Amino acid sequence: MRDVRVAAVQFQHAPGDKQANLDTVTTFTRQAAQQGVEILVFPECCITGYWHLRHLSRADIRDLAEPAFAGPTSQALLALSREHGLTLGAGLLELGDDDNVYNTYVIAMPDGQLRRHRKIHAFISAHVSSGSEYTVFDTPHGCRVGVLICYDNNIGENVRITALQGAEVLLAPHQTGGCALKDPHTMGRVERIVWDRRHEDPAAIEAEFRGPKGREWLMRWLPTRAHDNGLFLVFANGVGPDEDEVRTGNAMVLDPYGRVIAETWKARDELVVADLDASLRDLCTGLRWMRTRRPELYGPITQATGNEADTRSLRFTAM
């Protein structure tokens, strides 16, 4: 791996308005290119919108979906990538060749490559299927990248497998924070009035975004994913109202020791830029620990316990 400049974007998408959201992606891509960014990460489902999808019929879901590679959005992302000489990723609904719809993240690279990751733990709708493959690939920027979408990152095994496949940088697009869950020890709803009054009372919304509904929640587990697997991690998230929830943004970049090297807690659309120092991986704790694994002991991890459940059945109790 060589040193590389990356950026994470948080922005409030327009539900169902793919052109408006693509316009936002275009604006941030230009800003990132002006700052010398080489890899740019946008949030999960930022092209189609996210939380409103749970109300849509199968027909409406399919109307929003498009092919991952030949579709107009992917081609627009590829044109942006080539124009500005950077790699960028954005989330949408994919209509697969198998006639299923997936929560997919498309990555466009300036050398003409297009890659995709289908969310492994999809739960937004019964009409959206889960993927079953890990996504790790080389980029033109001298680093190997992996992609996991939102809930995918909650499962430690997913991140470990991604690292074992050679990922050096993990792209982690999300729509999270401010989630109204039954468990009082995780996140919790950000009241809409606090967002609406963010200009009159910026301290109140900052307290929410930096507190247990936002940054504090992420800090319980996100640094562990980076540290234990020796990865740089680029976290991009929605921000602001998403139907009846308020996303908390907190776009950030972490190093392989789990340290935050760039972040924002602003209550607005924002671009966060960071330079990744490749030499940090040379002796990082996570990689040293991974070299001393004993895979012959890990068979039980692959055996079902009988307690497994479809992610969709847990969507209101875990995120």
pLDDT 10s digits, 118-143 = 999 999 999 999 999 999 999 999 99
pLDDT (tens digit per residue) in 48-65: 999 999 999 999 999 999
pLDDT (tens digit per residue) in 157-213: 999 999 999 999 999 999 999 998 888 888 999 999 999 999 999 999 999 999 999
Burial 284-310 (b: 16+ CB within 10 A, else e): bebbeeeeeeeeeeeeeeeeeeeeeee
Strand order in the sheet with 144-147: 135-138, 144-147, 169-173, 232-236, 252-254, 260-263
Q: pTM for the complete prediction?
A: 0.96
DSSP one-letter string for 1-54: ---EEEEEEEB---TT-HHHHHHHHHHHHHHHHHTT-SEEEPPTTTTT-SGGGG
Q: Is the pLDDT score of 318 beyond 70?
A: no
| Per-domain boundaries in the chain | 4-314
pLDDT, position 312 = 73
Alpha helices in 95-191 (DSSP H): 156-164
pLDDT (tens digit per residue) in 224-256: 999 999 999 999 999 999 999 999 999 999 999
4-314 folds as Nitrilase/N-carbamoyl-D-aminoacid amidohydrolase (3.60.110)
